[in-house]
Amino acid sequence: MNIKNVSCKELHIHAFVTAPGQSWCVFGENHSGIDRFIDLLSGKLMNCHGDILDLPQRPGILSFRAQQELFEKEIRNDDSDFLNKIDPGTLVREFLPDYQAHLGLLQTFNMAHCLDLGYRQLSSGQARKLLLLCELTGGTTTLVLQNPYDGLDELSCYELNHTLMHLPARGIDLLVCVNNISDIPAWTSHLAIIKNGHLVFAGPQDQGLPRIQQSKATGTTSDDPLKAPFFDTPAENLQQGDELVFLRDGFAGYAEKKLFSGLNLTINTGDHTLITGPNGCGKSTLLDIITGDNPKCYANDLRIFGSKRGSGESIWTIKKHMGIVSPTLHREHRIPGSALQVVLSGLYDSIGLYQKATSTEIKSAGHWLAWIDLAAKADVPFRRLSFAEQRQVLIVRALIKHPKLLILDEPTQGLDDDNRNTLLGLLEEIAIRNLSTILFVSHRKDEHRPFFRYKIRLDAHAA
């Protein structure tokens, strides 16, 4: 790859040259221009000008955008109505027609038991691993990975690193693009740094890493959780000890696969809870049962806000008191609408805005967008925002109504260190002030904060 004196929209590169056998990590915070860099490599960035632009032919791209495109393709091909049953989607084995020649690789990523599962039956982490397997088994000679560790459990991250570090020796050019310092792989030989739309460094990792560390040590952030609009409006009157969630002998699964069983869970006001566990163990399914987005909510012995599920309660009455962020909710936002409209939709628990908002509500949504530095993009279509910007918008969509129960399923996917810590700082203040009760799913150990009173770990059942 050879890029010299190239300028594109929001991106300027003086020189970026790779050589066979090298493994590269590209580091850039949100809004740095790293998303444009990935677009450039994938051939989706038009109107570029420069001296040399020698890009890889048909690179394998593992990105949030690629994952969303695959999800939307699966939705378009959904035959549930025709089949008169839930269509699980394209089988994993159909994505990997030559899977028998790569069984070792499937076992490495703990995906061999998923061959007969449909795409829509996979967890978010499993879906990311499937995309990577498609690229690795498809014969690509250049692999570009955007935040590949997001959504993967600790063991999967270890196995991914073990696989990736051997790819350059097999003739595969590798670029791992990350937003967080802790995600920079120790085994990559070279490091590129993108800042303010410019490639400011490209060279050996041991020379580039100190630059990032020094910049973070001397940098300051203006984000202050106390300035969040969450504290401007009185929250609901929450009484300590009020029951929010009660689940007895809980279970979930599909077809012949069991996700979890015998799970007892009680969450009262102030019981801020962290849920962990490997990919595919049912963490997101558990949250979907609580929110009413999984039909197993009616089969389980479950009470939400003191009401037994299936006793005639309205799902909208329940969701009125919930703020939700999840990979599933993010994927489902395929409808037209601006950033401002998506934030406002949180007040009505809808995907899309179908009611006329009041001037007070619009003002509140504007304050939230200002808090995440996206006020200037209030009228920008949600789908034109970067993945990180979309995730930030969905976060404030959940916060805007001061919910009793804040359900966050890996909410920080795609966020850099500063944005991640700003959110976690806000959650800590919310917990201290007892303004909402937090139910939080995360694979990242740096998110296991002291304000979580309880920790639940789900374990994967054998297939």
Of 71, 55, 208, residue with least CA distance to 144: 55
At 159, give phi and psi (nearest 5°).
-65, -35
Q: Which CATH class is domain 2-217?
A: alpha beta
pLDDT (average), residues 26-36:
95
2-217 and 225-457 in the same fold = yes
Largest CA distance in the chain: 69
Q: Please classify residue 346 by burial: count the beta carbons closer than 10 Å to its beta carbon, then call 0-12 exposed, 13-18 middle and 19+ buried.
A: buried
DSSP 8-state assignment for residue 226? G
Instruction: Quote the tokens at residue 457.
Output: 């770990």
Question: Taking the domains of the chain in order of start, what are their residue ranges?
Answer: 2-217, 225-457
Among 63-72, 170-179, 323-332, which stretch is predicted with the lowest mean pLDDT? 63-72
Q: What is the pLDDT of residues 243-295, one digit of tens each?
A: 999 999 999 987 677 889 999 999 999 999 999 999 889 999 999 999 998 88
Q: What is the pLDDT of residues 362-416, one digit of tens each?
A: 999 999 999 999 999 999 999 999 999 999 999 999 999 999 999 999 999 999 9
DSSP 8-state assignment for residue 91? B
Q: What is the pLDDT of residues 92-138, one digit of tens each?
A: 999 998 888 888 889 888 899 899 989 988 888 888 889 889 988 88
Check residue 424 and give its pLDDT. 95
Instruction: Please state, for a pLDDT cut of 70, what percent of the chain lies above it.
Output: 94
> Which numeric CATH code is attached to 225-457?
3.40.50.300
Specify the pTM: 0.89
